[in-house]
Structure 1
Amino acid sequence: MNTPQMFNGSQNFTIEGGNFHNIGRDLNILKLKENRERGLYLLYQHTCTSALFNAEARYPPPVCHPGTRESILNDFKSWIDSSHSHNHSVRWLYGPAGAGKSAIAQTLAETCAKDGSLAGTFFFWRTDPSRNNPRQLFTTIAFQLATSIPELRSTINSVVSNNPSILTSSIETQFDELIFQPCLTVAQKLSSKRSKGETTSHDISFNDARILIIDGLDECLDTHDQLRILSILGPAIQKRILPFRLLIASRPEPRIKEAFCSSNLENICLRSCLNDNYQAFRDIRRFLEEEFHGILERHSGTMEHVSRPWPTSGQIEQLVEKASGHFIYPSTVLKFIDDDGAVPADRLNIVLGVAASDETDSPFAELDALYRQILSRTTNKTLLLRILGTLILFNERRRVPYDIETFLILLQIPLGAVRATLSGAHSLFQEPSPVESNFRFCHASFMDFLLDPKRSLEFFIDKPLHHEYLAISCLDILAWESHVVLHPDWRHQAGWYTLEFWTDHCISASHSSKLITKLTTFDVYAASSGRWGALDRGFNLGDEGLRSVSVDFDVYATSPGRWGNLYRGFNLGDVGLRSVFVAFLADFLQGAFRVWSEMQDKYGQFLQQYHDISTKGVCICAHIESDNGLELTKLPIALSSTFYEGDNPPSLERHILLELRRLIRPLRLTRCLMFRYISPLEMPVVNESSERMVVDSM
């Protein structure tokens, strides 16, 4: 509890008069008028002065740089002053950590204090025991209302004088008796005067436009307390008795978001998301340009050798891009560059990655501490790192926006577990719900943090390890050994991702014994069918085009062959064969060769099958529909390493297509060709030595 030093140790005495000055930033002046003000004195003893906008404890507070954030500040000021905004008396300013919410709240408070429209402020702060809970929230607000709205002063003073125990009552009781009931009493008196025609200009001032600002609601440690505060304020504001509008700033925590969607607040609240609609990128650019100009002047002696202009426009744009619309990044960068005894040009090079930083001198110490604090709120760190590592690898492959179904299948984790794991870290994403935002990180700098072990410490993302996780998932998916139960229609996207990136993940992985065993025991000769029969739907290349695609990994079965139940009724000139079947086969063979060539030095003895399928050849087994029924035919395609080597290798896709045409031409097809599966080049078809055999009609 914060108490004025001039009254320390005093209890239950009478003040006979005078003005008592409290010098400092907490309160400029406290006027207590004789013993009639005893209630206000007691109330002041239960006021959290460190939560006020001009508190010494917050000096220097975060403020908007001059000329920036003008759009949102003007928007808010118009809302406060407008006589037509009573239907929306509440405004929720939300955004992720470091977006600049507190700076906007502080700047707005200073502006409103100057023109007399500030009713009060309360700035929550997680690490301050006096303002990371609501115990003194409403006593602090009540004291400010009593000193900023003359009509409320005597009423609030009387309430406390008559019942001092109100100061330790529940926050619900405090709000009702210290704020709502006094406002209701004054409003009723004014209504009575108005009906009698007795109002004066002094009375009318009660209804002047004012703003109460509560910043950092999410910094209140107990989630239940956050909801209590909103449940108290919402119904009261709906009654239109309170002589102020309310601005609440917070991160979009799930519970807070739900509360603002409740019936108590939804119809009276305007939401303001800190995104680029408020021209953050332009403001950040201006902020950087003006601050760098000041740095150049202050460090002129150590910057004589630096070419002008400094920084270059390109360097400024790099910083703007890294900021991702959030002021915490440029603020942190500028503080590092402007450090006494440093050469700003050298520090800028460190920030941009041109030069290495000293191990003990990080330009992002404050930003890193913020990231670690947010991540530490998640209870399942192992699962959190799995999710973040997968997102980083997805991002590098430009899989944005992310396909949630693919993501879940590759992680082999249910959606509910992902939501629960990220619930504490959602402020690091662009939207309140990471899943609904397609997992877009809110700061471009966040990935840099995660990939630097000196910065992220226990939250470091080891990329080779996460490549291994995804490589194993891809092999499971191709063999469909995963036991994750998901909607069948989701599987096709995971299939496309796997076919495109399984090779990259295998090569880039850490190559633990688990992955090598997985690759080694992989049954490349299995020709099982149908596991992916329902995999890829929606392909319709015409009546004789590809209808579905399925894969079995077995290298050979995967390659083209069981790309479905399968190719129905097309000829070799058909676009389906050219653009899908042959292209898939060629891509897969190239991937298999890459696995072999990149890993053969250490693991070649275990990966011979990847070499054989890509350099010796394959047999494509197909059903031919004729007058005699369905005939199973073996179509051998010879291959060599020349298709993968050199600067300009022959087109593997074209080679396969020409070979198929050459082999099928003598068959004199009259009706239909359906590719069924792949087998090794030397393996007879269905354990028969003949090149062709007739099977029963399917």
Structure 2
Amino acid sequence: LHRAIAGDAFHDSADRFPLPRCHPETRTKLLDSLCKWSRGVQPPRSSAILWLHGPAGSGKSAVAQSFCQHLQNDGRLGGSFFSKRGHPSRGNANKLFPTIASQLARLPQCRQSISQIVENDPSIVDRSLVNQLHELIVVPCRQSRLPHPVVIVIDGLDECAGNDVQQELLWLIGNAVSRERLPILFLIASRPEAHISETLADPPLDTTHRPLDIEQSFEDVRIYLQAEFSRIHRQHRTMDTVRYPWPSSQIVQHLVEKSSGYFIYAATVIKFIDDRQFDPCQRLNIIMGSMEDRYSELPFAPLDQLYLQILSSVPIRFHRSLLQILVAIHAQLALTVSDLEPLLELDEGDVELTLRRLHSVISAENKHSSQVTVYHASFLDFLEDSSRSGPFHVGSSQCRTNLSLHLLKAFSCRNGDPSFNRQEKLAW
């Protein structure tokens, strides 16, 4: 069994150091809710699967990590698997169930059963996912006499293998918990990708899971920033002459607003400022844009990499329509999907197909009534800076001119101006 596992996917793996976890005094309500669920206090036990979802950078992994620690302290951690896109083992779906089984085997009630199964059939780790789940997880848990349910935490499902495999994993888990009353619960964390939410809406998952949105929390971001700035002020030798509190409450408020209530922006800011080779005050000034960046390092490189990765997931054939949509979103025109298609002269369905892979950064819940907006204010900053967004830059004069022409044409057509040809599409 050991040869088939991804030990670096454990919640306490050295490979993942430094471990992402919630800062003390943040996400307290969410973690309390998760702990109550794990103990059967809320919601009803029928919710054997909890889907923790939220946009990229909203702190799902930190919540999952902190929850694992709570479970371990409480004696309720069955196993964990923290996926990572492109990683040879953490991104390999075939290692998921063997990895979970190896952790379940630490429990005295499951150890003998799992050992016997692997000893009788060593090739089980090379079999199909359905066989692995049944033999390595379902059978041992069914035979065990666990005093209480244990929780299996799967973080980053959207980063594991491909879409089809992710859907298969969900269906297999949902089918297993719906057919038998097993002493196991599943917390599955992922971005709100369309194929995942659609799978969870179908039987048997529609009745066995409960969605839990990782909400924005401006106050939690404020607590995190204030605590981290205080630590930097104490620890950096260059800060001895800087008066405390540092920085001002106005600067902290500005950063909180920029974060849109999500931790990725705040964490990126702190990571950039907390560099022992530079003066924290100068680094903060770079962030605030009040002085020229004399360094080659870009403050938001990790954030940019994340946004580029998400945008690049859109198939090339949709890149033209993607740029048009991004320009319109950046202009904050408060339009719905139904508004965008005629305005940008796109074929029906093009906007939905283009945005299908962007649910982690762009909100477009209802085609006719919901405005297409971004989750992170930092995403708009990224789009308008050509050095950061590259091919997805929306601030060029050509982009602005094209959008203006589309708006003018739409307005003129609505008012019956014959000088505009309704059949002639504008080129981008």
What TM-score results when the alignment is normalised by the length of structure 1?
A: 0.57
Give, in angstroms, the shift of residue 290 of structure 1: 0.7
Give, in angstroms, the shift of residue 303 of structure 1: 5.5
1:222 counterpart = 2:162: yes
CA distance in 2, matches of 1:459, 1:178: 45
Q: Report the counterpart of residue 51 of structure 2 in structure 1.
A: 92
Give, in angstroms, the shift of residue 332 of structure 1: 0.5
Which one of 381, 402, 415 corresponds to residue 319 of structure 2? Answer: 381
Q: Report the counterpart of residue 232 of structure 2 in structure 1.
A: 295
Task: Work out whether residues 478 and 553 of structure 1, in 8 Å CA contact, stay in contact via their aligned partners in 2.
Answer: no
Give, in angstroms, the shift of residue 432 of structure 1: 6.5
Task: Work out whether residues 159 and 177 of structure 1, in 8 Å CA contact, stay in contact via their aligned partners in 2.
Answer: yes
CA distance in 2, matches of 1:391, 1:285: 27
Q: Report the counterpart of residue 268 of structure 2 in structure 1.
A: 332
Which one of 256, 278, 289 corresponds to residue 320 of structure 1? Answer: 256
The one-letter amino acid paired with 2:52 is: L
Deviates more, 1:341-350 or 1:62-71: 341-350
1:57 counterpart = 2:21: no
CA distance in 2, matches of 1:345, 1:97: 29
Q: What are the residue-to-residue correspondences of 1:440-451 with 2, within 5 Å?
A: 440-451=373-384
CA distance in 2, matches of 1:353, 1:551: 46
Q: What are the residue-to-residue correspondences of 1:407-446 with 2, within 5 Å?
A: 407-430=340-363, 437-446=370-379
The change in CA–CA distance for 1:118 and 1:465 in structure 2 (over 3 A counts) is: same
Q: What are the residue-to-residue correspondences of 1:414-563 with 2, within 5 Å?
A: 414-430=347-363, 437-480=370-413, 495=414, 550-552=415-417
Map Cα deviations across residues 217-240 of structure 1 (whole Å, 9 max, x no partner).
000131110011011100111134
CA distance in 1, matches of 2:106, 2:236: 46
Q: What are the residue-to-residue correspondences of 1:75-154 with 2, within 5 Å?
A: 75-82=33-40, 85-148=44-107, 150-154=108-112
Q: Report the counterpart of residue 649 of structure 1 in structure 2.
A: none
Q: What are the residue-to-residue correspondences of 1:334-373 with 2, within 5 Å?
A: 334-358=270-294, 360-373=296-309
CA distance in 2, matches of 1:83, 1:366: 39
1:166 counterpart = 2:124: yes
Give, in angstroms, the shift of residue 553 of structure 1: 5.6
List gaps (5 residues or longer) in structure 1: 1-42, 187-202, 481-494, 496-549, 556-698
CA distance in 1, matches of 2:166, 2:369: 23
CA distance in 2, matches of 1:63, 1:432: 30
SS in 1 for 2:186: strand
Give, in angstroms, the shift of residue 99 of structure 1: 0.4
SS in 2 for 1:135: helix
CA distance in 1, matches of 2:348, 2:369: 12
Give, in angstroms, the shift of residue 50 of structure 1: 0.8
CA distance in 2, matches of 1:178, 1:286: 42
The change in CA–CA distance for 1:435 and 1:140 in structure 2 (over 3 A counts) is: farther
The change in CA–CA distance for 1:83 and 1:309 in structure 2 (over 3 A counts) is: closer
Q: Report the counterpart of residue 600 of structure 1 in structure 2.
A: none
Task: Work out whether residues 215 and 249 of structure 1, in 8 Å CA contact, stay in contact via their aligned partners in 2.
Answer: yes
What TM-score results when the alignment is normalised by the length of structure 2?
A: 0.92
CA distance in 1, matches of 2:377, 2:353: 23
Task: Work out whether residues 337 and 351 of structure 2, in 8 Å CA contact, stay in contact via their aligned partners in 1.
Answer: no
Q: Report the counterpart of residue 425 of structure 2 in structure 1.
A: none
The one-letter amino acid paired with 1:115 is: D
CA distance in 2, matches of 1:62, 1:338: 16
The change in CA–CA distance for 1:437 and 1:288 in structure 2 (over 3 A counts) is: farther
The one-letter amino acid paired with 1:457 is: G
**Alignment root-mean-square deviation, CA:** 2.0
The change in CA–CA distance for 1:63 and 1:431 in structure 2 (over 3 A counts) is: farther
CA distance in 1, matches of 2:237, 2:369: 49
SS in 1 for 2:188: strand
Q: Report the counterpart of residue 390 of structure 1 in structure 2.
A: 328
The change in CA–CA distance for 1:105 and 1:348 in structure 2 (over 3 A counts) is: same
Task: Work out whether residues 385 and 395 of structure 2, in 8 Å CA contact, stay in contact via their aligned partners in 1.
Answer: no
The one-letter amino acid paired with 2:4 is: H
Q: Which has the higher contact order (CA 8 A, sep 6+)?
A: 2
Q: Report the counterpart of residue 210 of structure 1 in structure 2.
A: 150
List gaps (5 residues or longer) in structure 2: 421-428
Map Cα deviations across residues 541-575 of structure 1 (whole Å, 9 max, x no partner).
xxxxxxxxx442659xxxxxxxxxxxxxxxxxxxx
The one-letter amino acid paired with 1:125 is: K
Task: Work out whether residues 55 and 360 of structure 2, in 8 Å CA contact, stay in contact via their aligned partners in 1.
Answer: yes
Q: Report the counterpart of residue 423 of structure 2 in structure 1.
A: none
Task: Work out whether residues 426 and 433 of structure 1, in 8 Å CA contact, stay in contact via their aligned partners in 2.
Answer: no
Deviates more, 1:234-243 or 1:49-58: 234-243
SS in 2 for 1:374: helix
CA distance in 1, matches of 2:93, 2:377: 34
Map Cα deviations across residues 493-543 of structure 1 (whole Å, 9 max, x no partner).
xx4xxxxxxxxxxxxxxxxxxxxxxxxxxxxxxxxxxxxxxxxxxxxxxxx
Identity of aligned residues (%): 37
Q: Report the counterpart of residue 6 of structure 2 in structure 1.
A: 48
Map Cα deviations across residues 9-33 of structure 1 (whole Å, 9 max, x no partner).
xxxxxxxxxxxxxxxxxxxxxxxxx
Give, in angstroms, the shift of residue 308 of structure 1: 4.6
CA distance in 1, matches of 2:130, 2:338: 45
Give, in angstroms, the shift of residue 339 of structure 1: 1.0
CA distance in 1, matches of 2:8, 2:364: 31
The one-letter amino acid paired with 2:71 is: C
